[in-house]
Amino acid sequence: MKLSRMMSVLAAATLSLAAAPTLADTFVFTAIPDQDETKLVERFSGVADYLSEELDVDVRYVPVKSYAAAVTAFRNNQVQLAWFGGLSGVQARRLVPGSEAIAQGEEDQAFRSYFIANTSAGIEPVDDFASLEDQLQDKTFTFGSKGSTSGRLMPEFYLRDTFGQSPDEMFSRVGFSGNHTRTLRLVEAGTYQVGALNFQVWEQELANGNVDTDAVEVIWETPTYPDYQWTIRGDVDERFGEGFQEKVTRALLDLDDPELLNNFPRSSFIPASNSDYQAIEDTAEKIGILD
């Protein structure tokens, strides 16, 4: 090919590439920090590797320090996918119109919170939460994160709904531990007499032999409610190509690696939609967490 002809072909190719939309190189996701960082890195590094292989793009997990930081990263498009709790997912989707809940754990359809107490408080486990009013009054109490569904929203809802008091009115001191594992440790140590946490964290720590059952016990469990889910921004097809959201959804629903699932822990992921979390949004509005 003559030099002039070759230069013309190269110029045409360059113009064609310049006119084509530039797709993002890296798909980034995060997760609410509901447990200690070591466990989260172990869990989500494996998910990043899995998604990278399934989606044929570079996938990166970025840890954050708080529930609010996870929502902010999603709002600012620093991440395109997030593993949220029920409340943080609602908050994120309200801030980013078009974003969608696409998958949840099989167990997330019927999640629960456990109220736990240090045994020195002398509070006996019950089935009827209302019967604990006198025993809980003026105790010290810790939630998890302020943005946690299972560690704050639903426990506060049941406290208000059952006893007609705010937590500050009912307890002598109210704290926010930051995550479920820390709630367990604070109550176990007696720093707080009572607390509320994600039932799965309790069950997993108990199975691993990490709970001193002489020091802390479950005193009541809530009725079930929907909780954790994967939420994706609505503009990912524009950034990563037509059909990308569906590819991400399919990859999550097809995830069947026992080790990865056990790290959540979940038995599988199933389809989810925004409407699944309407009850969470309504509850948050009712107790004043959402405007």
Do 57 and 73 lie in one domain? The reply is: yes
Residue 23: band (very low, low, confident or very high) from pLDDT cuts 50, 70, 90: low
Please report where in the chains the tokens 């809980």 appear, as a residue: 136
Q: Are 194 and 232 in a shared domain?
A: no
- Torsion 230-232-237-241 (CA) sign: negative
Whether residues 151 and 102 share a domain: the answer is no
- Same domain assignment for residues 47 and 130: no
Q: How many distinct structural domains can be found in the chain?
A: 2
How, if at all, do strands 100-105 and 229-232 pair? antiparallel
pTM above 0.85, yes or no: no
Range of the domain at 208: 112-221
Pair (12, 69) in one structural domain: yes
**Same domain? 69 vs 158:** no
Lowest mean pLDDT among 47-56, 116-125, 259-268: 259-268
Tell me the per-residue pLDDT of 36-46, one tens digit each, with 9 for 90 and over.
Answer: 788 888 889 99
Instruction: For residue 90, give every residue at least 6 positions away whose Cβ sits within 8 Å of its Cβ, in sequence order, or none.
Output: 277, 280, 281, 284, 290
**Which of 221, 237, 253 represents a domain boundary (last residue)?**
221
CATH number at residue 173: 3.40.190.10
Let me know whether 124 and 213 are in one domain: yes
Lowest mean pLDDT among 102-106, 206-210, 235-239, 282-286: 282-286
For residue 165, tell me if it sits in a domain: yes
Is a pLDDT exceeding 60 seen at residue 8?
A: no
- For residue 5, give the H/E element and its range: helix 3-19
Cα separations in angstroms, 130 against 40, 84, 158, 236: 36, 30, 10, 47
Q: For 107-125, how does the pLDDT look when each residue is reduced to its tens digit (9 = 90+)?
A: 999 999 999 999 999 999 9
For residues 78 and 129, membership in a common domain is answered with no
The residue with tokens 């609602």 is 90
The residue out of 178, 206, 221 marking a domain boundary is 221
